């Protein structure tokens, strides 16, 4: 087994890190609290992660991986299959096609854009879930989930940036 083989294994492993880390964040925030009803207001770690990687290194979290991540979240949350997957793909595609605006942008710009993205993403999710249920879902739950996601963003962004720098080196 030569240098090329181990180099390729290393490349594959580094390429899986964004997906696996996104999945880990999802699992930790959906399963570790034991608080009844927390799933409905838990911060959307997948939107945070997809947003970060779509700006930083979209080649490491391609759209098919984002879609799979969304399907896993749909199954774990118990919502209609495919809604979160489509929302995440829309977030990833939109942000990655506009990433040139983020290249040298300060964190404040990135965070304020994230607020718009998470509001739109969770709003679409809320609207489609309401249509599927034929009743409006609780709007206050949506606001709490959006606020929780925004509160957690800076810390998770910092964590993902640390991991990103480790992948590069």
> Is pLDDT above 90 for 5?
no
**Domain hosting residue 51, numbered range:** 3-168
Q: Which two tokens stand for residue 168?
A: 């590069």
Distance separating alpha carbons of residues 166 and 169, to the nearest angstrom: 5
Query: pLDDT for 90-143, tens place per residue?
Result: 999 999 999 888 888 899 999 999 999 999 988 888 888 788 777 766 777 888
- Round to the nearest angstrom and report the end-to-end CA distance of the chain: 23
CA atoms within 13 A on the CB side of 27: 8
What was the pLDDT predicted at 131?
A: 83
Q: Work out how many domains the chain is built from and give that number.
A: 1
In 10 A of CB 37, how many CB atoms?
Answer: 8
Mean model confidence pLDDT for the chain: 86
Residue 9 has a pLDDT of 74
Residues 6+ apart with CB under 8 A from 158: none
- 69: pLDDT strictly greater than 60: yes
Residue 63 has pLDDT above 70, yes or no: yes
């Amino acid at each position: 087994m030569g240098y090329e083989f181990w180099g390729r294994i290393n490349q594959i492993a580094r390429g899986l890190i964004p997906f696996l880390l996104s999945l880990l964040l999802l699992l930790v925030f959906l399963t570790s609290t034991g608080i009844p009803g927390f799933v409905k207001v838990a911060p959307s770690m997948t939107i945070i992660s997809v947003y970060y990687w779509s700006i930083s290194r979209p080649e490491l979290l391609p759209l098919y991986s984002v879609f799979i991540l969304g399907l896993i979240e749909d199954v774990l949350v118990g919502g209609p299959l495919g809604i979160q997957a489509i929302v995440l793909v829309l977030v990833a595609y939109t942000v990655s096609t506009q990433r040139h605006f983020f290249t040298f942008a300060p964190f404040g710009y990135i965070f304020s854009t994230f607020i718009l993205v998470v509001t739109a993403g969770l709003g679409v999710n809320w609207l489609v879930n309401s249509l599927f249920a034929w009743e409006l879902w609780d709007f206050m739950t949506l606001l709490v989930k959006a606020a929780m996601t925004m509160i957690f963003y800076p810390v998770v962004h910092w964590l993902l940036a640390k991991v990103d720098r480790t992948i590069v080196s």
